Amino acid sequence: MNSDFSKPQRQSAFGIIVMAAHTAFKIGRAFAFLIVIAFVKSQGNYLLYILLALALMLLVSFLFAYLWYIKFTFFLDKEKQEFVVNKGIFNRDQVTIQLDKIQQVNINQSILQKIIGVYGLKIDTAGAHSEEVDIKAIDETSAYNLKEHLLNRKALATDDLETAEQHSSTAEIPLLKISSWTLLKVGLTSNYGQSVALLVAFFYTIIYEGRQLIDAFQIDKDEIQTTVTGMLTILTVAILVAALLITLLIINLVRTFYKYFELEISEHKHSLLLSSGLIAKKNTLVSPKKVQITKYSQNYFQKKLNMLNLSLKQAHFGQSKKGHEMHGSTLEIPGCNPTERDDLLKMILGKIPEQGKTFIPDWRFLNLPIFFKLVLPVAVFLVLAFNAPEVKPFIGLAFAYFIIGVLMIYISYRRHRISVNRDFIIKQSGIWDISKEIVSPVKIQAITTFQYPWHKSVDVGHLCLHTAAGQIHFKYGNYTEIKQLVNYWLYQVESVNEDWM
Amino acid sequence: MPTETFTNEAIDIEKLPKYEEIQLIQPHSDYWKIICINLLTVLGLAAIGAAILIIFIDEIRPNALLIIGIYFVMAVLLFLLFRASFKKRGYAIRTKDVIYKSGIIAESTTIVPLNRIQHIELNEGLLSRIYKLGSLQIFTAGGQSGHLHIAGIPINEAKSIRDLLLNKLELIEKPTTEIEQ
pLDDT tens digits, one per residue of A5-50: 778 888 888 888 888 888 888 888 877 777 777 777 666 667 777 7
- Amino acid at site A326: M
Are A138 and A5 in contact, with CB atoms under 8 Å apart?
no
Of A472, A448, A372, A457, nearest in space to B103 by CA: A448
Indicate the residue of B2, B18, B116 with minimum beta-carbon distance to A487.
Answer: B18
Confidence class for position B96, pLDDT limits 50, 70, 90: confident
Return the pLDDT at B173.
62
B173 compared with A31, residue with greater pLDDT = A31
Of A384, A435, A104, nearest in space to A271 by CA: A104
Residue B165 has pLDDT above 80, yes or no: yes
Interface TM-score (ipTM) > 0.85 = no
Mean pLDDT (whole number) for A235-250: 83
B110/A448 touch (CB, cutoff 8 Å), yes or no: yes
Nearest chain A residue to B172 by CA: give it: A497
Cα of A433 to nearest chain B Cα, Å: 26
Task: Compute the distance between CA of residue A135 and CA of residue A68 in angstroms, rounded to an integer.
Answer: 11
Q: Cα angle at A220 between A199 and A44, to 5 degrees?
A: 90
Confidence class for position A169, pLDDT limits 50, 70, 90: very low
A493/B116 touch (CB, cutoff 8 Å), yes or no: yes
Q: Hey, is A72 helix, strand or coil?
A: coil
Q: H helices within A72-139, ranges in order?
A: 111-116
- For residue A81, the surrounding DSSP H or E stretch is none
Are A267 and A175 in contact, with CB atoms under 8 Å apart?
yes
Residue B66 has pLDDT above 70, yes or no: yes
Q: Cα angle at A39 between A37 and A42, to 5 degrees?
A: 100
* Chain centre distance of CA B42: 20
Give per-residue pLDDT as tens, A71-125: 888 888 877 777 888 887 777 777 777 777 676 777 878 778 888 888 888 887 6
A487/B1 touch (CB, cutoff 8 Å), yes or no: no
Give per-residue pLDDT as tens, B15-44: 888 888 888 888 988 899 999 999 999 999
Confidence class for position A132, pLDDT limits 50, 70, 90: low
Mean pLDDT taken over chain A: 79
Task: Compute the distance between CA of residue A3 and CA of residue A152 in angstroms, rounded to an integer.
Answer: 14
Angle (deg, nearest 10), helices A234-260 and A180-189: 140
Q: Alpha carbon of A396 to those of A55, A64, A409: distances in Å? A: 62, 62, 20
* Cβ partners under 8 Å of residue B164, min gap 6: B93
